[in-house]
Structure 1
Amino acid sequence: MGNEQRTFVINHIKRFPRYTSHYSRKANSQTKYLSSDSNIKIVYDLYKTTCKDEKKIPVKLSYYRYIFNSEFNLRFHRPHSVTCFRCDSHQNIIKYPNDDSKVSHSKVQVALHQKRFENAINMKKSDIEKYRLSTNTVVVCFDLQQSLPTPLLTTSKNKPMKMKNKISIWMKV
């Protein structure tokens, strides 16, 4: 394969928004997640459409998959822990800048949000410790990890449709 085709594949894969697991950032910081309603075949079909639009010859699926697996640490399935839409949105602005003022604002927002997240975790740990030490304290903890973003819409070719906003349905487990 030519270097130009390889570069085109890499640039195509880089176009997709990535999500970082919110709870396992430290343990698994290199792994990024693509939308769980996609897969390599859907992404490859989008690549072929892009090639057709730009009058380029597409590489074979096997080569596209090879580049996807060897050059990127990406996964399609839902991460074992939740991703944070707010962090992901700001990280995408930082990584793919259009406006310097938005980048600096997003950096501040990410740092602030992560600090709030760490404070919430510390408060939860503190509350649990208070519960252990006291007989008249009740602590209720829950995780909203079991949320279902809806609707999941697909086109007639089983390609996911992109929506600006999705509704989250909290599932009782």
Structure 2
Amino acid sequence: MKKVLLSIVTIIIALILIVGILELTSSYKVSEDINRNAPVQTQQQIIIHATPEKIYHIMSDVNHWSAWNKDIQDPVMTLPFQKGNSFDWKSGGLTIHSTLHTAIPYRKIGWSGPAFGSFAIHNWTLIPNGNDTKVIVDESMEGWLVSLLANKFQSHLELSLQGWLRDLKAQAEK
């Protein structure tokens, strides 16, 4: 029994060390464009019956995302919504620290950031179309955990962004 317990403890310690090394040695290229070579990437879009100004205002009010997006918890941004500033939030069970790389009022928003075993680049484009706005969202995800579970991450990302767009549409069309 002691040998079995010792083997289990040894395996657990080895896994913890491997994960720790993977986390410490992972580095990602911050870019204003998604990583077209990432194992997980998607583009989703929707037409919203609202102006780009209204949509930009909703999206740039990070601290209130959880009021209209059920998949987001505890968003906190203490600095102005501008390029180079960061915010923290939770989504899909992950705690995320994101930094804005693009904040062009009424046109484009983008951020990137790491979460456990992953790194995401997330971009929003707002295109006026008469009284409506076409919203396009692109995202790429990479990292050791994403590579291991690419199919799971891919399906979750697509569903997550579709939900985010539906929730944004509902909020903007109020």
TM-score tier (shorter): under 0.3
TM-score, normalised relative to structure 2 = 0.24
Larger proportion of strand: 2
Higher Cα radius of gyration: 1
Which has the larger share of helix?
A: 1
Flag the structure with more relative contact order, 1 or 2, with Cα contacts below 8 A and sequence separation at least 6: 2
TM-score (norm 1): 0.24
